[in-house]
Chain A
Amino acid sequence: MSSPLHTQPLAALRRQLLSRDISPADLLHSVEASIAQHDPAIGAYLQRDFPTALAEAHRADLSLPLGGIPIGIKDIINVKGQPLTCGSKMLAGKFISPYDATVITRLRAAGAIPFGKLNMDEFAMGSSTENSALQITRNPWDLTRVPGGSSGGSAAAVASGTAVATLGTDTGGSIRQPASFCGIVGLKPSYGRVSRYGCTAYASSLDQIGPMTRSVADAALLLQAIAGPDPADSTCRRDPVPDFSAALQGDIRGLRIGLPKEYFGDGIDPAVRAAVDRAITLLEAAGAELRPLSLPHSSSAIAAYYIIATAEASANLARFDGIRYGHRCDQPENLRDLYDRSRAEGFGPEVKRRIILGTYVLSSGYYDAYYRKAQKVRHLIRQDFAQAFAQVDVLLGPTCPTPAFKFGAHTSDPLQMYLADIYTIAANLAGLCGLSLPCGTTPPTAEAPALPIGLQWLAPPLGEATLLRAAAAAEQLLA
Chain B
Amino acid sequence: MPQEDHINVRYVAGLARISLTPEEEAAYASQLDRILHYVAQLDALDLSSVPEHSLEAHGCDFTRPDLARPPQPLDDALHNAPRRVGDQFAVPKVVE
- B18 and A355 contact, CB distance less than 8 A: yes
Residues of chain B within 8 A of A382, CB atoms compared: 56
Given contacts A98-B79, A323-B82, A414-B31, contact A461 B18 (CB under 8 A): no
When distances are taken between beta carbons in the complex, the residues of chain A under 8 Å from B77 are 98
Cα–Cα distance between A339 and B28 once the two chains are bound (Å): 20
Restricting to B33-72, which residues have a CB under 8 Å from any CB of A? 34-36, 38-39, 41-43, 45, 47, 50-51, 54-56, 58-60, 62-64, 72
Assess whether A334 is in contact with B16, with CB atoms less than 8 Å apart: no
Contact call B81/A323, Cβ cutoff below 8 A? yes
> Which one, A48-56, A235-243, A399-407, is touching chain B?
A235-243
* B76 and A347 contact, CB distance less than 8 A: no
Give A122 Cβ to nearest chain B Cβ, in Å: 14
Q: Spot the interface stretch: A148-156, A303-311, A465-473.
A: A303-311
CB < 8 Å neighbour of B2 from A359, A366, A376: A366
Q: Are A375 and B82 touching (Cβ within 8 A)?
A: no
Stretch at the interface among A5-13, A128-136, A325-333: A325-333
A240 to B87, CA, bound (A): 43
> What residues of B have a CB within 8 angstroms of the CB of A299 in the complex?
41
Q: How far is the CB of A432 from chain B (nearest CB, A)?
A: 11
B residues near A192, Cβ cutoff 8 Å: 58-60
- Across-interface contacts of A340 in B (CB, < 8 A): 14, 17-19
* Residues of chain B lying within 8 A (CB to CB) of residue A431: 58
Closest residue of B by beta carbon distance from A236: B60
Contact A369 B92 (CB under 8 A): no
In the complex, are the beta carbons of B42 and A304 less than 8 A apart? Answer: yes
Of all chain A residues, the one with the shortest Cβ separation from B73 is: A98
Identify B47's interface contact among A191, A325, A377, CB under 8 A.
A377
A297 CA / B42 CA spacing, docked (Å): 10
What's the minimum C-beta distance from A145 to chain B, rounded to whole angstroms? Answer: 24
CB contact between B82 and one of A314, A328, A376 (< 8 Å): that residue: A328
Determine which of B19, B56, B62 lies in contact with A344 in the assembled complex, contact meaning CB atoms within 8 Å.
B19
Assembly CA distance A336 to B19 (angstroms): 10
A303 touches B92 (CB 8 A): no
Cβ–Cβ contact B18 & A356, under 8 A: yes
CB distance from B36 to the nearest CB of A (A): 8
Query: When the two chains form their complex, are residues B54 and A303 in contact, meaning their CB atoms are under 8 A apart?
Result: no
B35, A94: Cβ atoms closer than 8 Å: no
Q: Does B1 lie at the interface of the complex (its beta carbon under 8 Å from any beta carbon of A)?
A: yes
A341 at the interface (CB under 8 A from B): yes
Question: Which chain A residue shows the least CB distance to B64?
Answer: A231
Residue B26, interface by CB 8 Å: no
- Contact at B39–A307, with CB atoms within 8 Å? yes
Looking across the interface, which residue of chain B has its beta carbon closest to that of A338?
A: B92
Q: Please measure, in the bound complex, the distance between the C-alpha atom of A396 and the C-alpha atom of B14, giving whole angstroms.
A: 44
Contacts of A205 in B (CB 8 A): 55, 58
**Assembled-state Cα–Cα distance A42/B34 (Å):** 34
Option from B1, B15, B82 in Cβ contact (under 8 Å) with A326: B82
**How far apart are the CA atoms of A337 and B36 in the complex, in Å?**
29
**Nearest Cβ in chain A — how far from B71, in angstroms?**
12
18 cross-chain CB contacts under 8 A: A234-B63, A304-B39, A304-B42, A306-B39, A318-B17, A323-B81, A323-B91, A324-B80, A334-B93, A335-B94, A340-B19, A343-B17, A356-B16, A357-B32, A357-B36, A360-B32, A380-B50, A461-B59
Given contacts A366-B2, A415-B34, A461-B58, 11 further A-B contacts (CB under 8 A): A98-B80, A192-B58, A238-B62, A299-B41, A303-B42, A334-B93, A344-B18, A356-B7, A359-B12, A363-B12, A376-B54
